[in-house]
Amino acid sequence: MNATRTTLLLFLLTAVGVSSALAVGTPAGTVISSRAKATYTTLSGATTDSAFSAYVSITVAQVAAVNVTPPTGAVTTSSDSVNVDYALSILNSGNGKDKFTLSKTSTKVWPTVTIYKDANGNGVLDAGELGAGAITATDSVKADSSFNIIVRVFVPRDQTLNNQVDVTTVTATSLLNGAKNAGSSLTTTVHTVYFGNITTGLTVDNASPNAGQNVTYTFTLTNNGAVPATAVSFSDLLAGFTFVSATTSQGTYNSSGNPVTWNIGTINSGASATATITLNVPAGAGNGTVFNDAMNVTYTAGGNTFTSSSNNRMVTVGVTYGVAVYPLTLASSKEPDDSMKYYIALKNTGNKKDVLEMSFSSTQSLAWKFYKDVNDNGVFDGGDGQLTNTNGLAGVDADSVQFSDSVHVFAIAVVPSSATDQATDVTTFTVTSAGDNTKFASVTATTTYAVPVVTVTKNVAPLGNQPPGQLMTYTISYQNTGHGNAYNFTVTDSAPDSTTYAPGTIKLNNVAKTDAADADEATLLSGKNVSVHVGTLAPGASGTILFKITIN
């Protein structure tokens, strides 16, 4: 009778599904003992007797089993940059004490999944539980007992996650039998304000500008989310550019600093806002220089504030050629046989290394030569090499000048000895880019010739016919009416035939001079030849020389 009741109870429990919430069968370690009994009678049946076998014992082995509830879970977020928590229960449905390792996998790369012990079983990750840190296994769990956990899935701040779905599977595996495991699939759907064009929303009108040119960036944001985005603002850090102008389809912009900022306000679901900014590429930017630009965006949606950057739009500076020469005008006054030296700076104003071609035109047909000031000391010295033709083009050149660098050159020519006073030579020196011969610059040098113009006159007194023995006075007058010095100016004269020099009569500018070859300017040669060395006769200077003779 007792056996019948026990069998019925087990049948009823099985019928209503209770067995899944209980340990698997008899608890491990249970010892089941039994013996056989035989009864028999005498032949007449009047007497009954019994016989028993020895007891036979069976010890119940441990069987591992585990259940995870709920087997599935699903949450749709209201934004990104949030934690999504799932409460799970690990049931030891085996028939003995066991521990379970906890593992997790995700179908997306973006979630961070962490498992914590739910110590108080309230389904909420409390501060103390969070502080206790993550776990990778349960404590020891008795048969028919549960271990509660919180699975935290972190959705990072990324507007592009809108409508993406991650399935994280958390698996509990028995330490007793690794083949026994159970899991729960947790589905997280991200629903946030999403600017759908943010990865392609920044465009530029010219990706290969020349140095000094303007480029215009256009930035479009579209709110493809379900809620308005408020307090929307953009900013653009001018990395190497110079601000020119900006616009916006709504709100305002402020260009008083770097970065330039746009305060847009609210962008409703499905609406867009557009901003443009025009920037200038630096004039000195080298060929191939890359400038990067991206918009930074800040907005608030769903109670969260988000900050992100747009796609990067690069521009690569193309080749530009340019030259400059300075000073723009030069002038000097030079005397015959003088060397004219003009110091000229040639600059490569392009953005690529260039050969700077030198040429000239001279109104007096002067033959100019060019020398590089190798040590840049502004003084023409032995180390300054003459420019030659390095590339086969016409004329000479300053070879391989880096962009934005300058080369200093001496232009040298000699004033011809045949030059006339106050004649001028106008020479135009031109530097031309070898890379683009339409790029050139010129400097004009005007040289005025300063040539001495000397006049000499001679008078004798007394005038008229004079008798033999008469003492006569010669007066020689000289003057430089030109604009150049007459160097080593010397006047010579002599007592003519039929006369005799009167000793000691030489005067220079009324100052008596000796006849001897001494330190003064006058010398009497061969007893009759007068030589007076005046020295340098400056422009406008004049003088007189006087000496006497006697008629034989």
CATH number, domain at 248? 2.60.40.1530
Residue-level pLDDT at 194: 55
Please state, in angstroms and rounded to a whole number, the distance separating the CA atoms of residues 488 and 182: 120
Domain-terminating residue out of 387, 415, 449: 449
DSSP 441-503: EEEEEEEEE----EEEEEEEES-S---TT-EEEEEEEEEE-SSS-EEEEEEEEEPPTTEEE-T
Is 45 part of any domain?
no
Is 15 part of any domain?
no
Task: Evaluate if residue 335 carries a pLDDT over 80.
Answer: yes
Residue-level pLDDT at 312: 76
Do 441 and 458 fall within a single domain? Answer: no
Stretch 449-456: mean pLDDT, rounded? 94
Please name the residue that has the structure tokens 């979630």. 111
Please state, in angstroms and rounded to a whole number, the distance separating the CA atoms of residues 225 and 268: 9
Residue type, 415: V
Q: Which has more confidence, 60 or 427?
A: 427
- Range name among 2-11, 25-34, 397-406, 456-465 with the lowest pLDDT average: 2-11
Whichever domain contains 173, its CATH number is: 2.60.40.10
- Range name among 189-193, 457-461, 481-485, 535-539 with the lowest pLDDT average: 189-193
Q: Specify the long-range contacts of residues 287-291, CB closer than 8 Å, at least 24 apart.
A: 287/317, 287/318, 287/319, 287/320, 287/351, 287/352, 287/403, 288/316, 288/317, 289/316, 289/317, 289/351, 290/314, 290/315, 290/316, 290/317, 291/239, 291/240, 291/241, 291/315, 291/316, 291/317
For residues 433 and 321, is the Cβ–Cβ distance under 8 A? yes
What is the SS3 assignment for 161? helix
Which phi and psi angles does 367 have, rounded to 5°?
-100, 95
Residue-level pLDDT at 24: 67
Residue-level pLDDT at 5: 32
Task: Evaluate if residue 20 carries a pLDDT over 60.
Answer: no
- The pLDDT confidence band at residue 272, using thresholds 50, 70 and 90, is confident
User: Among the residues of 95-196, which ranges form H helices?
Assistant: 127-131
Do 171 and 158 fall within a single domain? Answer: yes
Residue-level pLDDT at 210: 86
- The pLDDT confidence band at residue 180, using thresholds 50, 70 and 90, is very high
- The pLDDT confidence band at residue 195, using thresholds 50, 70 and 90, is low
Residue-level pLDDT at 369: 95
Task: Evaluate if residue 279 carries a pLDDT over 90.
Answer: yes
Do 408 and 334 fall within a single domain? Answer: yes
Based on the structure, what is the number of domains in the chain? Answer: 4
For residues 79 and 192, is the Cβ–Cβ distance under 8 A? yes
Tokens found for residue 263: 């305060």
Domain-terminating residue out of 286, 316, 346: 316
Domain housing 93: 66-189
- The pLDDT confidence band at residue 259, using thresholds 50, 70 and 90, is very high
Stretch 208-228: mean pLDDT, rounded? 84
Residue type, 380: F
Task: Evaluate if residue 9 carries a pLDDT over 80.
Answer: no
- The pLDDT confidence band at residue 371, using thresholds 50, 70 and 90, is very high
Stretch 189-209: mean pLDDT, rounded? 69
Do 377 and 282 fall within a single domain? Answer: no
Is 91 part of any domain?
yes
Residue type, 238: L
514-549 tens-digit pLDDT? 999 999 999 999 999 999 999 999 999 999 999 999
Whichever domain contains 518, its CATH number is: 2.60.40.2260
Task: Evaluate if residue 179 carries a pLDDT over 90.
Answer: yes
- Please tell me the pTM assigned to this model: 0.53
Task: Evaluate if residue 49 carries a pLDDT over 90.
Answer: no
Do 339 and 442 fall within a single domain? Answer: yes
Is 546 part of any domain?
yes
Task: Evaluate if residue 325 carries a pLDDT over 80.
Answer: yes
Stretch 170-194: mean pLDDT, rounded? 90
Is 90 part of any domain?
yes
For residues 315 and 431, is the Cβ–Cβ distance under 8 A? no
Q: Left (φ > 0), alpha (ψ -120 to 50) or beta: where does 381 sit?
A: beta
Do 433 and 474 fall within a single domain? Answer: no
Residue-level pLDDT at 1: 35
Residue-level pLDDT at 16: 33
Please state, in angstroms and rounded to a whole number, the distance separating the CA atoms of residues 230 and 263: 11
Contacts of residue 382, defined as CB under 8 A and 6 or more positions apart, other chains included, come to none
Do 546 and 518 fall within a single domain? Answer: yes
- The rounded percent of the chain whose pLDDT value lies above 90 is 63
- Range name among 145-149, 313-317, 365-369, 380-384 with the lowest pLDDT average: 313-317
Residue-level pLDDT at 17: 35
Is 16 part of any domain?
no
Q: Which has more confidence, 427 or 19?
A: 427
Please state, in angstroms and rounded to a whole number, the distance separating the CA atoms of residues 102 and 107: 17
Domain-terminating residue out of 262, 281, 316: 316
Residue-level pLDDT at 198: 40
Task: Evaluate if residue 196 carries a pLDDT over 70.
Answer: no
For residues 10 and 25, is the Cβ–Cβ distance under 8 A? no
Q: Which has more confidence, 52 or 510?
A: 510
Contacts of residue 466, defined as CB under 8 A and 6 or more positions apart, other chains included, come to 472, 551
Tokens found for residue 246: 């900006």
Do 349 and 385 fall within a single domain? Answer: yes
Please name the residue that has the structure tokens 């005046």. 534
Is 172 part of any domain?
yes
Residue-level pLDDT at 78: 73
Do 433 and 464 fall within a single domain? Answer: no
Do 209 and 293 fall within a single domain? Answer: yes
Is 465 part of any domain?
yes
* Residues composing the chain: 552
Residue-level pLDDT at 226: 65
Stretch 282-300: mean pLDDT, rounded? 84
Please state, in angstroms and rounded to a whole number, the distance separating the CA atoms of residues 173 and 99: 8
What is the average pLDDT score of the chain? 87
Do 151 and 177 fall within a single domain? Answer: yes
Do 153 and 251 fall within a single domain? Answer: no
What is the SS3 assignment for 83? strand
Contacts of residue 491, defined as CB under 8 A and 6 or more positions apart, other chains included, come to 456, 476, 478, 531, 532, 534, 545
Please state, in angstroms and rounded to a whole number, the distance separating the CA atoms of residues 217 and 353: 29
Residue-level pLDDT at 393: 85
Residue-level pLDDT at 403: 82
474-501 tens-digit pLDDT? 999 999 999 999 999 999 999 999 999 9
Residue-level pLDDT at 161: 82
Task: Evaluate if residue 48 carries a pLDDT over 60.
Answer: yes
